[in-house]
Chains A and B, each alone.
Chain A
């Protein structure tokens, strides 16, 4: 790839994750956008495209945000891809810049999710009809959630982790709880995390059971938050100040995949194949391997999910995720730090913001601007998200050459 085709993150920002009762979706998104523009030393006038994601609001978030931070008439793409929505927005802005339609693009993801409760479980009271009549694609005469498996996210992802245990052995309730213990410990160094208290293994295992083996602290934390990024191409970056060039982060790979058909993929979502495909493509694009990564932010929507992605992202040998975790590698002082932000379980998971916030985390380490939780001398990092359905985003990021 020539320098002019390179894609760079010029500015990036995430809001504090947590409860923001006094800020609405637009306030949070606007804060993220203005932060990212200021970080990059640019304004809305420089943006040739806006890609925006939000799932729980009323729609048209991109235009709503423009109306607060700058209506310049550029195209807006409102995107929706479940938990991969933020990464999809970023990918959309990158594609526009790569295609040469503009020199700079803005991506934003925002969600108000504090107090949202259990996701995926319907939300409507079950109303068994007084007359059994088949309806829907399964010809069901009554609701099937709870009768034929579960639709709740903690239950779906519990099965993802348990299935790994069935294939390779070595998993246990305690193992999954230890993964959560790591991420809660990591979050104590992250002032932007929704939860930043360490939790002992006993506290985690004795907390409220949601869907075995996932207790409440082993589930992603519903919270409010937003993140935004400004991307540009290499030729444009060269026209900017030395300071802007120094702080810019190279996007060495930007990949989005969906799940290819596999036996059972329409029975239990297959979050493995599309992640493996995305990782393979990303490593090839970037010309780096998992051994080159200084840190990884992966989609630990549940403790049971983090385990399988060690394997899917190639951080360990196939089938070796339990041993990989047991070696201490994914702790922040280990050989392959994973989720030093605290991850979704502790930093929090405002759905559409997550796929840009994880990139912010990696960028801050690569810029050596991550304060107390800085991974020393970080040069290459990977950010991964999964949106059930499914969509997988993998980005590999590299520090600018000094």
Chain B
């Protein structure tokens, strides 16, 4: 059976797949990258914490011009997942302003990036719309 690897190390391919953050044990600040210390309180110890899969689209753009080799258009956004902000694309949606809106409820979804020469499959993530009432502007 071929192996699967996540696009980034903070995507955990469990059932269901989810993101994890490094949380500062002293002040609770959360990060997704490899850390040297906490930028908020300068402490050096972190716990791994799971991030909610459900969230609200706090901001987005529909990118029509990007670097070479990047397929456009795509929707880039910031999702508020239970108080933790996550950067990700909005996927499984028509990439236009009629189908994507601020405050839209979204949920983590994964997709295949393809397989490499060893047969290893890379799995990426994004956020897809789910049914529900959008958060009204001003009440975010």
Contacts and interface: CB of A to CB of B under 8 A. Distances in A.
A287 interface: no
Contact of B76 (A122, A155, A167): A155
B40 A146 contact: no
Given A126-B70, A141-B5, A145-B67, A155 B61 contact: yes
Interface string B27-71: 001111110000110000000000000000011111111111111
Contact of B102 (A124, A134, A166, A263): A166
Given A126-B69, A263-B85, A163 B58 contact: yes
Contacts of B9: 134, 138-140
Contacts of A208: 64-65
Interface string B67-104: 11111101011100001111111000000010000110
B122 A167 contact: no
Contact of B67 (A122, A129, A138, A166): A122
Contact of B58 (A154, A155, A166, A211): A166
Contacts of A163: 58-59, 78
A327 to B, nearest CB: 19
A213 B69 CA distance: 22
Given A134-B9, A166-B140, A210 B33 contact: no
Contacts of A155: 61, 63, 66, 76
Interface in A42-91: none
Contacts of B122: 132, 141-142
A90 to B, nearest CB: 28
B67 A126 contact: yes
Contacts of B30: 263
A123 B70 CA distance: 11
B29 A261 contact: yes
A169 B71 CA distance: 31
B137 interface: yes
Contacts, number: 184
A163 B61 CA distance: 10
B97 A173 contact: yes
Interface residues of B, number: 57
A292 B21 CA distance: 46
B60 A162 contact: yes
B120 to A, nearest CB: 5
A259 B71 CA distance: 32
Interface string A227-247: 000000000000000000000
B87 A149 contact: yes
Nearest to A163: B59
A264 B88 CA distance: 13
A156 B59 CA distance: 10
B138 interface: yes
A118 interface: yes
B66 A118 contact: yes
Interface in A143-172: 144-152, 154-156, 158-160, 162-163, 165-170
A206 interface: no
B76 A261 contact: no
A142 B114 CA distance: 11
B115 to A, nearest CB: 9
A142 B63 CA distance: 19
A267 B76 contact: no
Given A138-B10, A149-B87, A169-B138, A130 B65 contact: no
Nearest to A268: B78
A165 B76 CA distance: 16
A115 to B, nearest CB: 15
Contacts of A151: 67
B130 interface: no
Contacts of B63: 146, 150, 152, 154-155, 211-212
B101 to A, nearest CB: 10
B66 A121 contact: yes
Chain A to chain B: the 7 pairs with minimum beta-carbon distance, closest first: A139-B9, A169-B137, A126-B69, A121-B67, A264-B85, A146-B70, A158-B61
10 contacts: A134-B9, A140-B9, A141-B6, A148-B125, A149-B89, A159-B59, A166-B103, A166-B135, A212-B62, A264-B85
Given A142-B122, A149-B88, 17 more contacts: A124-B67, A126-B68, A126-B70, A134-B5, A141-B5, A141-B7, A147-B89, A150-B66, A152-B63, A152-B65, A159-B76, A168-B137, A169-B136, A210-B64, A263-B30, A263-B83, A267-B87
